[in-house]
A and B are shown apart, each in its own frame.
Chain A
Amino acid sequence: EIVMTQSPATLSVSPGARATLSCRASQSVSSHLAWYQQRPGQAPRLLIYEASTRATDIPARFSGSGSGTDFTLTISSLQSEDFAVYYCQQYHHWPPHTFGQGSKLEIK
C-alpha cells in the first residue's frame, strides 16, 4: 500500500497571500496524484489531477506540481472560500486508493 504524507498539518495564512501545501508518497506514483478540497460540512471537491491538471471550473489560482514522490499544491492570492482542508490522493497503484491525512488551511 502506498502511504501518502501531507505537510504541514495546519497552515495559517492571511487572505490575499499565497499558500503552499506538500504531499509525499512512500514510493513513486509518477504523476498519478490528485488534490481535493473539503470545506466544513461539505463533501470533497476535486481540484487537481495528473498532478497539475485543474478539474472543471477550478480557478486558475489553484496549481499543482511535482512527480514521483513529491508534490505541491499552491493557492495564490487566497480567498475566504479557500480556507478548508486539502487532501492528496494517489491513483498510481490501487486498490487501495490512498489519501494523505489532510492539511488544514486556516485564516491568520
Chain B
Amino acid sequence: EVQLVESGGGLVQPGGSLTLSCLASGFTFKTYWMTWFRQAPGKGLEWVASIKYDGSEEYYVDSVRGRFSIYRDNAKNSLYLQIDSLRGEDTAVYYCAREKIAPTVFDFWGQGTRVTASS
C-alpha cells in the first residue's frame, strides 16, 4: 500500500525557517518524481515544487523560488521542503504527492502538515 506521511509543520514567526518531511512507503521511491503542494485556509490547491526521481532537476512556483528548497534522500525514502524567510502568505497545509510515471498527474497524496506563519 502506497503511503506518504508528512511531518514538520508548526507555528513559526515570519522570517523564520522550517523543514517539512515526507516519508514514503509501499513503492519504489527512487523511480518517481515527487511534488509539494499547499492549500491556504479556505483556498484552492497550489503547486509549490517538484523534484526529479534522482534529484537532478527541481522546479518551483515563482512565489517561493529562492526561499524554498525541495530535496530528497532516496536511501531514506524521504522528500523534504526547506522553507526559509517564511511569510504570512505561506500559511497553509502542505501536501506531498507522488507523480504518476505517465502522465504528469498526482496519484497519491499525503494527509498534509500545517504551517502557520505568525508572531
A residues near B (Cβ < 8 Å) are 32, 34, 36, 38, 42-46, 49-50, 55-56, 87, 89, 91, 94-102
Contact = CB atoms under 8 A, between A and B. Distances in A.
B24 to A, nearest CB: 14
A96 B61 contact: yes
B27 interface: no
A87 B59 contact: no
Nearest to B104: A91
Kindly state the interface size class of chain B when it binds its partner: 20 to 34
B103 A50 contact: yes
Given A95-B59, A95-B61, A96-B61, A46 B47 contact: no
Interface string B69-111: 0000000000000000000000000010000100111110111
A87 B44 CA distance: 8
Given A43-B109, A43-B110, A44-B109, A91 B47 contact: no
Main SS class of interface, A: loop
A56 B107 CA distance: 9
A32 B103 CA distance: 8
Nearest to B109: A43
Contacts of B47: 94-99
A98 B107 CA distance: 16
A36 B45 CA distance: 10
A45 B50 contact: no
A49 B103 contact: yes
Nearest to B107: A46
B105 A91 contact: yes
B54 interface: no
Interface string B48-59: 001000000001
A102 B39 CA distance: 12
Closest 9 CB pairs of A and B: A97-B47, A43-B109, A91-B104, A95-B59, A34-B105, A49-B105, A99-B45, A102-B44, A101-B44
